[in-house]
Structure 1
Amino acid sequence: MSKILGFNLAFALVTCGIAIASLVFNILIFTQVNAPPVEPSTTVSPPITIPTVTVPTTSLPPPILPECKAPGKVSTDPGWKSAADQLLRGIDRSIDPCTDFYTYSCQSFLSDDTNPSSVAGESQTKINLEIADYLDNVDVKKASDYELIAKNAYQLCSASSIELPTVGMLKGRVEEVQTDLLDFIQFPLFGFASKDASREALFAKIGRTERQFLTSILLGSGASVDYKDNKKVAIYIDQAGLSYPRDHYVLPNFISDMQDYANDLAELLREYSTMISKKAACASHDNSEDCIVEFTQWVVKFEIQIALASWDNSEMRNMKLQYNPFKMAPGPDNIRDIFKSLPIDSYLKALTDGMRPDDFDTNTNIVIGQPSYFMWLDALLDSEAVNNEQLTNYLALMFLADTADYHYLGSFGRSKRRAADGPDAPLRGLDARLPSGIRKGRGARKLNYKPTPAVLVQTPDSIRHYCVEMLLVYLPYAPGYIYVKNMREDKRDVQEDVKKQTNRIVAAFSDMIDTLDWMDAAGKENAHAKSRELLQNIGWPDWFEPFDGVSDATVDKYHEDYVSIKDSTTYWQASKVMKGGLETREFWRMLKQTDKTTGPESIRGNFLQSPAMVNAWYQPERNSITFPLANMAPPYYSLDWPQAYRYAGQGGTAGHELTHGYDDEGTQFGPDGMLSDCDFTHCSIMDDKSREGFSDMAQCVIQQFNLQCCPVKTGNVRCANGANTQGENIADIGGQQAAYRAYQAYINEERNGQPEDLLPGLEDLSPNQVFWLSYGFSWCSKKSEKSLVSQLENDAHAPSICRVNQVLQDIQEFGKDFVCKQGSVLYPKDEDRCNVWVGF
């Protein structure tokens, strides 16, 4: 099929060339015929010199002329026009697509100041504002509980987030926060000492504070499927989530960032001291200011110690080393006998209060993720190098830092710094810090979606967008149900279309696996079994059905832990119920629900995030792939757009997430979502030889990113780290290949091999070229150089330009579809390409 399309495209280009040559020839003749007669001259003309013309070696897109188009009919369908309008926002035909396809796809979008910062952000903002419109108009006399909960939380957030509050407003908010701080933690630095200063009492405080406010220090926990028995639930305890990426603490080039952090913490405490009319007191200083500075510097040094003792993210992908089960009951594997100075039992009892089943002590695995970190922490506590008072002060300070979006302590100084830095500068200090709750959890359960800091919210629409973001993170299913039920009349047709699309992509990926020469037959069968057993959560959780009074009642019941929000009068009251409800509902209630397979209580089929979130994920311990309905929306997908666009957008996302099931982490889990064939060093669905082949494939991608140094062009912009970004890069390459092959299967199966119609305004592009253009456009993103550098330092995802250009050079079908000359940047010779999940 691709050969036929390639021939047709070449034939069209030749035809266009003949048409252009004929046009030029006729113009020359017309000029000569109509030119005035030339008078004879006696002057001798100089010799005619033919200038040297350098012909570019890379192919350029053909000019658009009425007769110059790809083979096929131009559609007049409104959906085709809508899809074309999207792509025309980005395309710049003056760029050679075979050299820089990202700029070819995105330059017009990037150069238009009226466009948002990214295509992805535009989609989420539109959905958030639709949900905000709905909540603004909810009739409280007729509303269900979930609507009342969401509406009141949204309205209280909106009223709270208008601007930096006055000093009087600030004092009232600090008083609200102070009441809970003293109830849950205390603050010895300011004279609020604990009545029970024992180590057990301290760790019970840490557990209670994490349960109610998502604030934690030293460690973090959650319940999920047991990796060794997915009919059970286990508790996973991990090392502390850090306020910043680990490199910020351990590498010398981030010293200034750490100083900003210490300065912001000190400023927060100065304002806190003023608001509560209490001075800091410490044994080493008489002056309150000196005590504050000393303490905040100790906090940063202590976090550096934590970072040095912690495992790097790249070291935490071996699940065999991460799975270390213990029990609460007395016996050889009792967790308190292992860690004698670390009262994990006190912490867990406070954290799981009311959630523990009767056989909790004897039958629930307590899985320690990074044993060397916990041995370090146990030794630290045993040595008394850090005391309970210091840790209590540290917990109190982290509580204040986590809640800064409400009480605004220290925000005035930070707002001046942001103004001086300029609008494009990356956030720093407390503005860049990750709140504890955002760092919590594993995989898709990890709340790594960080809303915009409230201090940056200024316009009415940005306030509405921000407040719905907060609901999506901390109250995921109320706005999710509202969105699916009320805003998507096309939802069932979309769900059915994406199911068919996903099945084709799974089949295409399975065919790709069969081409591999480095995976043995048993490994291939295990890989196919994973595909057959894959759980597909598409659109929304099954318990949202049937979108009537019955499902309304189910959704209301789900929100029992949030119901008091209806009566909240301040955003502080609502937000702490949201956080406590999320912790109870999403992290711990499944401890009592081990026999459920469907509904809100399901174990393997848990949807994990809001259906109104523009996102998608693969969860290895459930062998599940999840696509929220919000992801099936423009500019990625629309039911009336060409399938070329749909397969490149939503289909590419599906392929990406599916490929994560076969990355270095996903291949450790079998078709049932449990760790597979574990020996003393690792678990894997592949034998050792196949694993070596996988490593070779991964190393090719790592080296490619490192050596070609994407995205550096000029100056000091740094390069993507091939090792840190390998998982996402491999998923991009493998996933987009699977989506493309699935699209070709659709053409053959549903259209008897006949291409789709052409897009109006893009008549020069074949449907296959539209597929690639849709992929390129989906990554359009504006970033300042400083923000780009920050991403390169901290993110597991490479910048957008890399996720287009670096990916497409490894997919030979792209170069063929754009008739690139082999050896050009994006159509390299076969030996210069990484074969990712395909063999040739």
Structure 2
Amino acid sequence: MMAQRHFDLKQWLVILSGFFAVQPLCEAQRTDIGVSTPVPLNLSTTVVSVPGNSTPVEVCTTEGCIAIADQILSGMNFSADPCDDFFAFACDNYIAKHPLGNRKQFNVIGELRAQAEQQVTDMMEPNANDTMTLSDAELKAKRIYAQCLAKKPDVEPLLRFMNAIMLSGWPMLKPSWDSSSFNLYNVLLNMSSFGVQPFFITELVQDVGDPTHNLITFGQPTTFASKDTLQSDIGQQVTVSYFEYVVGATRLLLKQSGVNRSVSAVMNDAMDIVDLEIDLAMAGLGDVEQRDITMLKDKMSLGMFQNNFLNQSSFFRQFTSFTRDLFTLAILSNEIDRNTTVVPMTAEVFRRIDGLLASLESLGDVGRRRIANYVGWQLVNANLAYLTKDFAIVRQEYLSKIGMSASDPKDDTAAVECGKSLRQVMPLAVASIYVRNFVPPDLQPKAAMMITDVKAGFGQMLRTANWMDDATTTTALQKLQNMLVFAANSKEITDNATALNREYSEVKIGDTFLDTMQIIIRLKVTKNLRKLTQMNVRPDPYNDAYDITTVNAYNEPIENQIVILAAILQSPFYDSQVPQYMNYGGIGFVIGHEISHGFDDQGSRFDANQLLRDWWTDTTRELYDNKKGGFVKQYSSFCTEEVGCLNGRLTLGENIADNGGIKAAYKAYFDFFKLRVKGEPEVSLPGFTDFSPEQMFFLSAGHLWCGSTSLEKAQLLLLTDPHSSARFRVNGPLSNSPEFGQAYKCPLGSKMNPTQKFSVW
């Protein structure tokens, strides 16, 4: 991971194809379609009499059934018409019972995430038997967690680290800064070795023309706001919040380091930092433009990239040498020359960034100071989370203001923050402890059963898509069969302490937590660079380490793999002690969503062998594009008076996945799971004896999205989030489902059963 505070390309693709807004990553094992063992239900029940029904009804009485029934019932609004607004029917009372207060967002998913974070903090507490029961890697993780909790209010480690990278110092903290000793080339090289790249991101990504090898990609930096946000009505508000954050964090650093600078001087430098970051954002691509997956095919030699696009600023005129020096970290400098194949994302963006740097260089000392202040701020911003709580609060307050943090800044405890930091750098060691404490041994086979059924359901959808020609259908089915699945956790990690210890053998615990984090981050950067000469293996549980404690699921389109992390396999998404119609409507929907991503506007570009190529016939692709256009039109018409209308193009991939996912999960339960139990009816949940399994399936799916969002956060998400807002993630797919209309007996022409329905599959 070459840029610590920015999303790398793989994470960017994951975010565009994930079930939620996703966070960084752990790895995989294969679940083959058709290979799964039926799982007996074994639910305790009781028989009750229902008024108006002469036949007694069997009701589930497990703790899981009672809990999920209470949770769903308490959130429902029975005065709302499910055929008019199913989200209101399923979620209105949940929203009323959970006012936002100082929070930016509160929802069912957030509650589960908080539960998972608490699980991590609980398991990382020291135990008298740790030295006897834990592996060396696990012990190391616990010691680093304890070191994080013991942080002292001391900025000296950060100042020491910054001065080692910026020998001239950071102008914001050095009133008498001398521009003559500032060497941008060396500073950026040093920063890159610790995962911070302010002007571009270097990443090793699977070659879309040869999946066994990796190529160097160069991407635009992630700035505090996207081009689209800056050009919107909330652009000024977001910019002011960021400016206040830069000033606040800098003043706190000045105070704790004993340096005196006037507020006006700090504000002037902060304005320069923000202005430069805005210029970088405006030089880049917009959110919709970045969805163009075909950019991965734009290969050229490093020499051609240098000659044709990077010839204005003194730094970029040395870019070939810089890249070679960077790979010296991994002892691979001999692999880099002007003939090395690279993928700029995109070359024109880099031409504009190069021009921006050149214009600053033309200003002499003034321009050099602005550049130095900007890169120094990026280094500070990347490391504030590793300092004490007061710095974390400044950062969280900023994130909360712009809607990037759902919680109140003061709600996150030091333990939660330390858990997050540790999960980022030692996910496999944390995963090993988590599995031992919170993952039942039978979770994987039970999840595998559902995945098999949902893949079969999606396969049925492909076979019955009469608009697809035979050749395209055959390749699509082969792609589905080749799709890898990471379910819950990797036994290659949890069952092999020797390999786990070897993975973290080079991790050393430094004098301070920040020192330790930089040691590990540098190791991660070096490991990533080494991928240049390594062969890719599917799956590889150590090269890409998934954080299984994250409540999330996603699709990796380049690798044709779906990832269902252990933490999401908990109630209300999944519970082995509830009727399966609840699980298929919950985690089954998630699984179907991720499978569908393999065939959305991006995933559909990759064939059965992970090659980015045109494998669709012209006629079928044209029909597919027409169907996509239907979704764009439909979702662009979904509006709220307070926030506005969805961007149907930005959310296209997620909308395709939502609609395909609910259909695949429905078929999985009613066409395939039912075969496993030979049509045996499942028991009712307490309080839901009047509801059919079909109705409960859709209610389970709808409940997942219960929650509310502040106006500020909703406005930002509308511009930047590839997912539709919660109400339309429920009402959109369900209104396109004939099965939903039948289940709830919605009149044809009602809002939830419109005469015109949109679909791809």
TM over 0.5: yes
Alignment partner, residue 319 of structure 2: 344
**1:784 corresponding residue in structure 2:** 710
| Partners of 2:390 and 2:431 in 1: CA distance | 34
Structure-to-structure mapping, 1:479-628, within 5 angstroms: 479-488=430-439, 490-491=440-441, 493-545=442-494, 547=495, 551-561=496-506, 563-565=507-509, 568-585=510-527, 587-594=528-535, 596-601=537-542, 606=544, 608-628=545-565
Q: 1:764 to 1:672 in 2, by over 3 A?
A: same
- CA distance, structure 1, for counterparts of residue 114 and residue 520 of structure 2: 22
Give the Å deviation of 1:430. Answer: 6.2
Residue aligning to 1:203: 185
- Alpha-carbon distance, 1:478 to partner: 1.6
Please, which of 476, 481, 487 is the counterpart of residue 427 of structure 2?
476
- Letter in structure 2 aligned against 1:781: G
Q: CA deviation at 1:814?
A: 0.6
Residue in 1 aligned with 2:409?
A: 456
Deviations 1:1-44 (CA, angstroms, capped at 9, x unpaired): xxxxxxxxxxxxxxxxxxxxxxxxxxxxxxxxxxxxxxxxxxxx
Say yes or no: does 1:361 pair with 2:321: no
| Aligned-partner Cα distance in 1 for 2:445–2:54 | 31
Indicate whether 1:370 and 2:361 are aligned: no
1:102 — aligned with what?
87
Report the Cα distance in structure 1 between the residues aligned to 2:625 and 2:95, rounded to whole angstroms: 37
What secondary structure does 2:202 align onto?
strand
The SS at the match of 1:637 is: coil
2:137 is aligned with 1:154: no
SS in 1 for 2:685: coil
Tell me by how many angstroms 1:148 deviates.
Answer: 2.1
Which one has more relative contact order, counting CA pairs under 8 Å at least 6 apart? 2
Who wins on radius of gyration, i.e. which is larger?
A: 1
Deviation, 1:700, is: 1.6
Q: Residue 758 of structure 1 aligns to which amino acid in structure 2?
A: S
- The TM-score with structure 1 as length reference comes to 0.76
Contact conserved, 1:68 with 1:764, CA < 8 A, in 2?
no
Structure 1 residues 479, 665: CA separation in 2 closer, same or farther (over 3 Å shift)?
Answer: same
Backbone CA RMSD of aligned residues: 3.1
Percent identical residues: 24
Whether 1:249 aligns to 2:230 is yes
Distance across 2 between alignment mates of 1:131 and 1:397: 31
Alignment match, 1:423: none
Question: 2: distance between equivalents of 1:540 and 1:589?
Answer: 25
CA shift, 1:825, in A, is 1.4
Q: Which residue among 792, 802, 806 is the counterpart of 2:728?
A: 802
- Identify the match of residue 761 of structure 1 among 687, 690, 696: 687
**Shift of the alpha carbon at 1:230?**
1.0
Aligned with 1:739 (options 657, 665, 679): 665
For 1:666 and 1:837, how far apart are their aligned partners in 2?
14
Q: Flag the 1:765–1:569 CA change in 2: closer, same or farther, 3 A.
A: farther
Question: Structure 1 residue aligned with 2:135, among 133, 144, 156?
Answer: 144
Q: Distance in 1 between matches of 2:233 and 2:411?
A: 35
Q: Does 1:692 align with 2:622?
A: yes
- How many Å apart are 1:211 and its aligned residue? 2.9
Moved more, 115-124 or 405-414: 405-414
Residue 809 of structure 1 and its aligned partner are, at CA, apart by 0.4
Q: 1:639 aligns with which of 565, 572, 576?
A: 576
How many aligned residue pairs are there?
694
Pick one of 701, 704, 715 that aligns with 1:775: 701
Unaligned runs of 5+ in 2: 1-47
Is residue 321 from structure 1 mapped to residue 295 from structure 2 by the alignment?
A: yes
**What is aligned with 1:827?**
753
Contact 1:135 1:147 in 2 (8 A): no
Show CA shifts across 1:552-611 (max 9, x none). Answer: 1211111234x213xx453322333343344344x3343343264454455xxx4x4212
Change (3 A) 1:733 1:92: same
> Which residue does the alignment assign to 1:165?
none
- Distance between the aligned counterparts of 2:553 and 2:539, measured in 1? 20
SS of equivalent to 2:77: coil
Q: Describe the shift of the 1:504–1:776 C-alpha distance in structure 2 as closer, same or farther (beyond 3 A).
A: same
Shift, 1:734, TM fit: 0.9
When normalised by structure 2's length, the TM-score is 0.84
Q: Return the alpha-carbon distance in structure 2 between the equivalents of residues 515 and 365 of structure 1.
A: 42
Aligned to 1:303: 277
Alignment of 1:300-449 (within 5 A): 300-327=274-301, 333=304, 335=306, 339-340=310-311, 341=313, 342=316, 343-357=318-332, 360-361=335-336, 365-382=341-358, 384-385=361-362, 387-407=367-387, 429=398
Q: Offset at 1:87?
A: 2.5
The residue number in structure 1 matching 2:29 is: none
Q: List runs of 5+ in structure 1 lacking aligned partners.
A: 1-63, 161-168, 281-287, 416-426, 435-449, 677-683
In structure 1, give the amino acid aligned to 2:118.
L
Is the aligned partner of 1:234 residue 2:219? Answer: no
Shift of residue 382 of structure 1? 4.4
Q: Report the alpha carbon displacement of residue 184 of structure 1 after superposing the two structures with TM.
A: 0.8
Per the alignment, do residues 630 and 266 of structure 1 end up closer, same or farther by CA in structure 2, a change over 3 Å counting?
Answer: closer
Q: 1-side partners of 2:540 and 2:651: how far apart?
A: 35
Which residue of structure 1 aligns with residue 676 of structure 2? 750
Equivalent position SS for 1:117? strand
SS of match in other structure, 1:313: coil
Letter in 1 for 2:459: S
CA distance in 1, matches of 2:476, 2:624: 13
SS in structure 1 of the partner of residue 505 of structure 2? helix
Task: Name whichever of 812-821 and 182-191 sits farther off.
Answer: 182-191
Contact 2:95/2:708 (8 A) holds in 1: yes
**Which deviates the most, 395-404 or 623-632?**
395-404
| DSSP-derived class of the 1:537 partner | strand
Q: Distance in 1 between matches of 2:435 and 2:341?
A: 36
Change (3 A) 1:808 1:784: same
Cα offset for 1:429?
A: 4.5
CA contact (8 A) 1:223 1:588 kept: yes
Aligned counterparts of 1:367 and 1:630: Cα–Cα separation in 2:
35
CA distance in 2: counterparts of 1:358 and 1:324, whole angstroms: 23
Q: How far apart are 1:452 and its partner, in Å?
A: 7.3
| Matched residue, 1:30 | none
Structure 2 CA distance, aligned partners of 1:505 and 1:154? 39
Q: What does 1:74-85 align with in structure 2 at a 5 Å threshold?
A: 74-78=58-62, 79-85=64-70
